[in-house]
Amino acid sequence: MPRLPINASRLNQTLEELGHLGESPNGMDRVAYSPEDILGRDYTIKLMEEAGLQTRIDSAGNIIGRMSGSDDSLPAIALGSHTDTVPKGGKYDGALGVMAAIEVARTLKEQGHQTKHPLEVINFTNEEGTRFHRWLVGSRSMSGLLEQEDMDAVDDDGVGLGACLADIGGDLSLIQEAVRKPGELAAYFELHIEQGPYLYQSGTPIGVVTGITGRAVFEVEIEGKANHAGTTPMSNRRDALVSASRLVLAIQKMAAEQEICRVSTVGSIKAIPNAVNVIPGSASIGLEFRDTDMEALAAAEQELRRLTDQAATDDSVEVDVHRHRFTSSVLVEPDMQALVGEAATNCGFEWEAVASGAGHD
């Protein structure tokens, strides 16, 4: 296939125009199913149709544009991402992948070049999951992984997912029709901004993703004894917050020093009764581990349970560990990694292999 340069100026223009839809002083506000999200979706459909793509909305609300190949019996090659955002989200998060995919289709049309495989551009709906606290609704629907509790979800105002899907052209009662059959898609490629500092710090313009990280999420509950802060001797205290604090530091060291897993984060902490003059009788922390190596995640969980057992013994407290989520990593096929790396090299760009630390992009 000949090398076909895209129109970079036009791509930047579409990103700017999309960026004005839902723009706020502190970022993008195109939360899924909101009026601003619908404006972004309508803009995407307009661009897809201008690029010559046959455009449809599936029952999950995904926007799919298709360009026929010279052999339409072959499985399609898909490109895409999402245009919904978290509150105060970034201009290029997700949007870059969708707009770049459309620009590829535009370039193919303008150059009169037809690919052998059909080409699909996909704008997945509700990937961020802000509104219903259910993420990846579009892509999980397409993969057949949407669960009943996802379909039963309601937002903070009591509005159900079904009503929101109807607003954007989807149909929850037909959600199974969104599932893609084995063999329909040959491959999926997504261009995305880096959401970490690695490439930026190394000065490398392109990262070839080796895999999407697995994620293990836990809550640790600690029960000590609440007591008077002024009259209880230090030696007699069963301070749940002190135990929690020690665990926070130990969990940080698991990744930073022991390198049991790639990253470890304690993102929430609570103390009861949360009063300055009362020794905390209860405390809880919310934490997660991430790694593309599932054995590393298992080792991290084992170490967490060892630490909590030790805390219970050393501090005379009761500790319960609850595993809330254990999401498997997904490794990218080596031949696809090689293909992206080869394309970058042919275009004169340096690249390096990187793991995606984000959960889906």
**pLDDT digits 0-9 by tens, 135-191:** 899 999 999 999 998 999 998 899 999 999 999 999 999 999 999 999 999 999 999
Domain count across the chain: 2
Read off the pLDDT band of 294 (50, 70, 90). very high
- 170 and 126 in one domain? yes
Q: What is the CATH number of the domain that holds 134?
A: 3.40.630.10
Asked if residue 46 is part of any domain, the answer here is yes
For 167, the 3-state DSSP assignment is helix
- Where in the sequence is the domain holding 244, given as residue range(s)? 214-327
- 169 and 295 in one domain? no
Asked if residue 32 is part of any domain, the answer here is yes
Asked if residue 125 is part of any domain, the answer here is yes
Residue 361: per-residue pLDDT:
64
Asked if residue 359 is part of any domain, the answer here is no
Read off the pLDDT band of 1 (50, 70, 90). low
Asked if residue 200 is part of any domain, the answer here is no
- 118 and 65 in one domain? yes
Asked if residue 361 is part of any domain, the answer here is no
- 240 and 135 in one domain? no
Q: Is the per-residue pLDDT at 219 higher than 80? A: yes
Asked if residue 61 is part of any domain, the answer here is yes
Asked if residue 333 is part of any domain, the answer here is no
- 163 and 15 in one domain? yes
For the segment 93-113, the average pLDDT, to the nearest whole number, is: 97
- 303 and 187 in one domain? no
Q: Lowest-pLDDT range, 50-59, 65-74, 147-156, 246-255?
A: 147-156
Which of 193, 227, 251 delimits the end of a domain? 193
Residue 32: per-residue pLDDT:
95
For the segment 53-74, the average pLDDT, to the nearest whole number, is: 98
C-beta of residue 26 within 8 angstroms of C-beta of residue 133: no
Q: Is the per-residue pLDDT at 76 higher than 80? A: yes
Q: Is the per-residue pLDDT at 360 higher than 70? A: no
- 17 and 135 in one domain? yes
Read off the pLDDT band of 65 (50, 70, 90). very high
Residue 152: per-residue pLDDT:
92
Residue 195: per-residue pLDDT:
85
pLDDT more than 90, % of the chain: 89
Read off the pLDDT band of 356 (50, 70, 90). confident
- 223 and 172 in one domain? no
For 269, the 3-state DSSP assignment is strand
**pLDDT digits 0-9 by tens, 298-353:** 999 999 999 999 999 999 999 999 999 888 999 999 999 999 999 999 999 999 99
Read off the pLDDT band of 13 (50, 70, 90). very high
Q: What is the CATH number of the domain that holds 280?
A: 3.30.70.360
Sign of CA dihedral 224, 227, 230, 232: negative
- 157 and 115 in one domain? yes
Q: Is the per-residue pLDDT at 281 higher than 70? A: yes
Read off the pLDDT band of 357 (50, 70, 90). confident
**pLDDT digits 0-9 by tens, 220-249:** 999 999 999 999 999 999 999 999 999 999
C-beta of residue 40 within 8 angstroms of C-beta of residue 83: yes
**Which residues sit opposite 352 in a β-bridge?**
207
pLDDT more than 70, % of the chain: 99
Measured CA to CA in angstroms, residue 57 lies from 44, 45, 276 at distances of 12, 9, 55
- 128 and 240 in one domain? no
Q: Is the peptide bond before 182 cis (omega within 30 degrees of 0)?
A: no
C-beta of residue 284 within 8 angstroms of C-beta of residue 220: yes
- 177 and 261 in one domain? no
Q: Is the per-residue pLDDT at 358 higher than 90? A: no
- 146 and 77 in one domain? yes
Mean pLDDT of the chain: 95
